[in-house]
Structure 1
Amino acid sequence: MRKSIIIAEDHPITARGMENVLTTMGYHVLGTYQNGLQALNQICLQKPDYVLLDVQMPGMCGLDIVENLHKKNIKVKTIIYTMFTDINLLEQAKNLNVNGYLLKEFAIDDLKECMHALERNMNWYNPKLEEKLKKTKVTFSPELFCKLTTRERAVLNCIANNMSTKEIADEQFISERTVESHRRNIKIKLNLPDKKNALLVWAIENKGFFSLME
């Protein structure tokens, strides 16, 4: 029985090209949709084996679709493809457990490699982007962690549990402004890059290390 797939892409020519490649590879394309919300509804209704999602679409973006599928407990392998080479997008996709990540510049070749990997129950991400992401990773350093105060460690643990600034403030009986101050100090002490969500990503990835030191 042929595996099924739904394509969500708001450019008809691109969608047709991807459909042709997938059909040639033996997949059953259940439909192509130009609106993200419509695509989400059809994925929930038809329950394909795979979904190929553009990052930017009217109605709902690709990553939001993935997040909604997780919330609805829809079991489907997800593939994101985009023209953007921003590694923050790849990082977000990985945090959402996306199975494949392609760049439109190499979409046809990447798609073939990606589908072969997914068939073997392996994830596949564009190699150049993944290598770039690995180079930006900041690994756990006990020496730097030990520089944190008791309060900063408590705030860091809350961040690792994905708590919002308000939730942390309520938990620690401090103001939201103080929480933000702690966030800045922690980033400086841990030598983290000054980019959005850098502290959150580090805290989640390294929680297993610093929790052992408590």
Structure 2
Amino acid sequence: MEPVTVLVADDHPVYRDGLARAIADHPALELAGTAADGRRAMALIREIAPDVAVLDVRMPGLTGPDIVAEIAREQLGTRTLLLSAIADEHLIFDAVASGLDGYLLKDADRDAICSAIESIAAGRTVLAPEAQAALARGVRARESSRGPAISPREREVLRLTAEGMSAARIGEVLHLSPVTVKSHLHSLYEKLGVSERAAAVAVAMRLGLLE
């Protein structure tokens, strides 16, 4: 079996060199390169296409999460492991949503990091217990801050209402009867806690329901 190729990117030379040595000494892993900043790391990922990139969360140029998002945008195939001193719920939530494969704290021992790299290369997701708890907090926070659930059709009616169209005109555009449009509007009023069109549009804009 071919060894897993690994890039290590961290702007702290002592930590970076220690982790690089541990990876180079591991029989199932192969050190493909190191980088001291995010831009160099991204350039190496494009050039050598390592199986796994181990990235410090905070680096000059590009951060670890920036690189995770860029890899996903370019569909490069390199899987990613972020290392951080803390488990930040917002950062973890956004990074996982962008395609992150693993998150460990930097105080994890070298064997645990190497084991995580192997698991990530095999297609599994690895999150430290602290990161799992932070991700759960992030999910709960996002859910509690979201506006009411509105259907795709209600969203269309809301958008056209915001454009100043009457119920009759909305019905023409969406090929709905005026009665059906008014039913959608009534449902929107109830969900948004309002009683008229202008207030519905104002609340929807505040909640980010109109883009």
TM-score by length of 2: 0.66
Match of 1:6 in 2: 7
Q: Deviations over 1:103-162 (max 9, x none)?
A: 112253541341242243211011122124325534979xx947x7x89x629xx9xxxx
Distance 1:131 1:36, change over 3 A: same
- Of 170, 173, 182, the match for 2:163: 173
Change (3 A) 1:179 1:82: farther
| Matching of residue 20 in structure 1 with residue 58 in structure 2 | no
User: Which structure 2 residue ranges, 5 or more long, are not aligned?
Assistant: 165-199
Name the TM-score, length of structure 1 as normaliser: 0.65
Q: Give how far 1:65 is off.
A: 1.1
Q: Which residue of 1 aligns with 2:103?
A: 101
* Mapped partners of 2:137, 2:45: distance in 1: 35
Q: What RMSD in Å do the two structures reach over aligned CA positions?
A: 3.5
Shift of 1:84: 2.5
8 A Cα contact 1:5 1:49, kept in partner: yes
The code of the aligned residue for 2:131 comes to L
- For 1:182, the equivalent position in structure 2 comes to 204
Q: Note if contact 1:110-1:126 (Cα within 8 Å) is conserved in structure 2.
A: no
Letter in 2 for 1:6: L
Kindly, what percent of the aligned residue pairs are identical?
A: 23
Q: Please name the residue that 1:61 is paired with.
A: 63
With over 3 angstroms needed to count, the CA separation of the structure-2 counterparts of 1:79 and 1:136, relative to structure 1, is closer
Bigger mean CA deviation after superposition, 82-91 or 116-125:
116-125
> Equivalent residue of 1:23, what SS?
helix
Q: How far is 1:98 from its partner?
A: 0.7
Report the number of matched residues: 167
Kindly indicate whether the alpha-carbon contact (under 8 Å) linking 1:7 and 1:51 is maintained by their aligned counterparts in 2.
yes
Secondary structure of the corresponding residue to residue 30 of structure 1: strand
8 Å CA contact 1:50, 1:77 repeated in 2: yes
Q: Compute the displacement of 1:183 (Å).
A: 5.7
SS of match in other structure, 2:6: strand
Whole-angstrom distance in 1 between the partners of 2:72 and 2:100: 10
Opposite residue 173 of structure 1, the aligned amino acid is E
In structure 2, the residue matched to 1:90 is: 92
Deviation string 1:1-30 (CA, Å, 9 cap, x unpaired) is: 222111111111010111122122232112
CA contact (8 A) 2:4 2:118 kept: no
User: What is the one-letter code of the residue matched to 1:182?
Assistant: A
3-state SS of the aligned residue for 1:122?
Answer: coil
Kindly tell me: are residues 73 and 179 of structure 1, through their superposed partners in 2, closer, same or farther at Cα, counting changes over 3 Å? farther
State the match for 2:48 in structure 1. 46
